[in-house]
Structure formats: structure tokens, C-alpha cells
């Protein structure tokens, strides 16, 4: 699905919200190769239970210039409420086109997709501290004091674990007449807490 209103410019088109299982084999192989270069030794792909969807930026020749995955999971907080969360994962740009703003354009497009998705209450993910300005420029915001607890309850991995220097970011749906107040309530619910994300053993931490 081509993102409506995407500025194609010299690099081609942004294709978004494609189910991983529905990716054409040629694109899937390119995404796997990009991820393998960025994270040597990791296994390609994502847990099907997280309903992974690909967002791709294609160059003028139709090759993948940048890619990321949107992962989805309901999160139940201590207040008993369940929120439909989506996170960014596997954000990577092809080595020969880095430094041209393609990654930022892709991440901004992903945020727009999530904001328009009525099945998502919030975007929620973590990144290395030095990448915070990159994601803030795309419209995400830091959630002060928030910690994501990934992995499983039996084998957790938290963003404040020793050796990790992660910051948690989020984005909240707005637009409809009654959305602004709800966005504030969801933001407050996820700020300054330990979030029991528990995405499993494949995508251990977003």
C-alpha cells in the first residue's frame, strides 16, 4: 500500500503497512539482508504473534533503501486497562544511501500510519539514547521515567537493565473531536511506570 501524500522526490516511494508474510520475495530478501548487515548474528523476521507489518522506502529502481517493522501487542497495565500498542523495530537504512534523510522520512511515515490506525492506541518503543533527537524529529516524544520490560515474565529484559542505555518514546492518537483528552490520559498512564510489554523471545525488546 502506497502511503497517500508521500513525497516521492528522487528516491521513489514509501510502501507501508505490508504484512510480512505478504511481502514479495524480492523485497523480503532485501529487508533480511539489510537487517543482517545492521545486526550480525540475529535471525531475520519477526514473531508472527506480534502482527508484524513492514514499512519500506524504495529507491527509484524499486530497491529497498530503508525499512522498519511495526509490531503490535495489547498491553495490560496495573490499573486493569488494556491498551493496543504498536512499536517500531528493525529501523535500518541501506549503507550506500545513509545520510540523506531517508531514515527520518521513513520513521515519520510510520508515525503517520500509526496515528491513522484506529486499532492502535499508542506507539511505544525504545531506542539508544543518542538516537532520541532522530525520533523526536519524526514526531515521537520521550516518556520520562518509563521503562519497557520485554522478553517474558520468566526471562525479562528491561530498558534499564545493566549495559543498556535506552530511552522510551511514544506517540498518541489525536485528530477526532474527542481524541485530545484521551491522548492525554493514555500518555499519563504510560509515563513514569514500568510497562509489562513482554513481546516474547523473538522480538525481546522494541
More confident residue, 177 or 111: 111
Q: What are phi and psi of 205, to 5 degrees?
A: -150, 130
| Per-residue pLDDT tens digits for 20-33 | 888 899 999 999 99
pTM above 0.85, yes or no: yes
Q: Is the pLDDT of residue 205 over 70?
A: yes
More confident residue, 14 or 74: 74
Number of domains in the chain: 1
| Per-residue pLDDT tens digits for 94-125 | 999 999 999 999 999 999 999 999 999 999 99
Q: Are 2 and 14 in contact (CB under 8 A)?
A: yes
CATH, residue 137: 3.40.630.30
pLDDT number for residue 17: 78
Q: Is 1 a domain residue?
A: no
Q: Is 206 a domain residue?
A: no
Amino acid at each position: 500500500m502506497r502511503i497517500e501524500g508521500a513525497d516521492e522526490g528522487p528516491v521513489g516511494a514509501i510502501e507501508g503497512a505490508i504484512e510480512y508474510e505478504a511481502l514479495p520475495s524480492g523485497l523480503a530478501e532485501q529487508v533480511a539482508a539489510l537487517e543482517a548487515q545492521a545486526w550480525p548474528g540475529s535471525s531475520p523476521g519477526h514473531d508472527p504473534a506480534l502482527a508484524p507489518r513492514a514499512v519500506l522506502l524504495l529507491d527509484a529502481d524499486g530497491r529497498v533503501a530503508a525499512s522498519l517493522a511495526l509490531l503490535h501487542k495489547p498491553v495490560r497495565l496495573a490499573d486493569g486497562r488494556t491498551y493496543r500498542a504498536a512499536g517500531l523495530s528493525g529501523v535500518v537504512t541501506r549503507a550506500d544511501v545513509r545520510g540523506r534523510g531517508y531514515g527520518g522520512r521513513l520513521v515519520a511515515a510510520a508515525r503517520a500510519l500509526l496515528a491513522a490506525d484506529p486499532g492502535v492506541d499508542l506507539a511505544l518503543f525504545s531506542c539508544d539514547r543518542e538516537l532520541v533527537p532522530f525520533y523526536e524529529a519524526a514526531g515521537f516524544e520521550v516518556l520520562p521515567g518509563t521503562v519497557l520490560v520485554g522478553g517474558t515474565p520468566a526471562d525479562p529484559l528491561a530498558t534499564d537493565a545493566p549495559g543498556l542505555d535506552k530511552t522510551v518514546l511514544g506517540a498518541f492518537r489525536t485528530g477526532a473531536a474527542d481524541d485530545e483528552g484521551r491522548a492525554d490520559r493514555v500518555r499519563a498512564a504510560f509515563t513514569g511506570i514500568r510497562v509489562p510489554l513482554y513481546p516474547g523471545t523473538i522480538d525481546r525488546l522494541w
